[in-house]
Every structure is written in structure tokens, then in C-alpha cells.
Structure 1
Amino acid sequence: MKCLSCKYGNMIDSTTTYMSALKNCVLIIKNVPCMKCTQCGDELFNTDILEKIEKIIAAAENLASEVSIIDYTKVA
């Protein structure tokens, strides 16, 4: 699949680190599956992954200190 952003690179299976600033902390989720462009590095997440990220964020808001680092492969 060609990249939707740069139109030149190919999207390949990869993992990334997802970061989100919540109201009470910064959440870092490591090892999140994604499709990453070989040219520009743009990342895409499928719907299932985004739903799991939303659940992780909701759970982290209740537990979080200032910074939370979660490994996706251990909680998804």
C-alpha cells in the first residue's frame, strides 16, 4: 500500500511509541502495532488498535501519576 501522506513510500508493518497528554499526566504506550511509511515515517493505526488505545487511555486516567509508560503487548 502506498503512503497516503507522501504518495511515494510503501506502508509496512511496524511498531511505534504512542504518546498522549492527558489532563493529569503524560501517557506513553510502547510497542503499538502500526503501518509505517518507508519514505516519510507517517504512521497509520487500524480501527482495532485505536479502540484498544482508547481503552488503555481510559484506564490510565484513573491510575496515572505524572508520567505513565505502558507496553501495548502486555495490556492489549
Structure 2
Amino acid sequence: MKCVLCKHGTTYTGTVNVTLERDNCIIVLKDVPADICENCGEYYLSQSTTAAVLDRAERSIDRNAEVEILRFAA
């Protein structure tokens, strides 16, 4: 697909690290599957991957984690 951010690159399938922050909680998910722009590096997550990332983040927040680093496993 064509990158909607830079409009020049096309995307390839790979993995990225996603960092989320809410209030005093920081969650880093490593090796998240994504489509990544070869030109600017912008990444796009599928709807199901986004839902899984947000679910894991909510569970970390519910446990009152300040900083948590997780390896994403689909």
C-alpha cells in the first residue's frame, strides 16, 4: 500500500516497537506485526493487532504498572 503520511513510499510487512503512555504508565510492546513505509518508517497496524495492543496496555494499567516492556505474541 502507498504510505498516507509521506505519499512516496510503499509499505512492507515487518515488526515494530509500540510505545504507549497514559498518565504515569508507559508500556512498550516489542515485535508488533505491522506494515512499515520503506521511505519514512511510518507504520500501520491491522485492526486486530491494534485491539490486541490496546488490550495488553489496559491490563498493564489495571495492574498499576509504571513501566512495562512486553514481547507481543499474536
TM score, norm. by length of structure 2: 0.89
Q: Which moved more, 1:27-36 or 1:59-68?
A: 59-68
Displacement, 1:3? 1.1
Unaligned runs of 5+ in 1: none
Alpha-carbon separation, structure 2, partners of 1:4 and 1:17: 20
Higher helix share: 1
Report Cα offsets for 1:2-38 as digits up to 9, x if no partner.
Answer: 1111111110001111111122321111111110000
Q: Which moved more, 1:42-51 or 1:18-27?
A: 18-27
- RMSD (CA atoms): 1.2
TM score, norm. by length of structure 1: 0.87
Runs (4 or more) in structure 1 with deviation over 2 Å come to none
- Matched pairs, number: 74
Unaligned runs of 5+ in 2: none
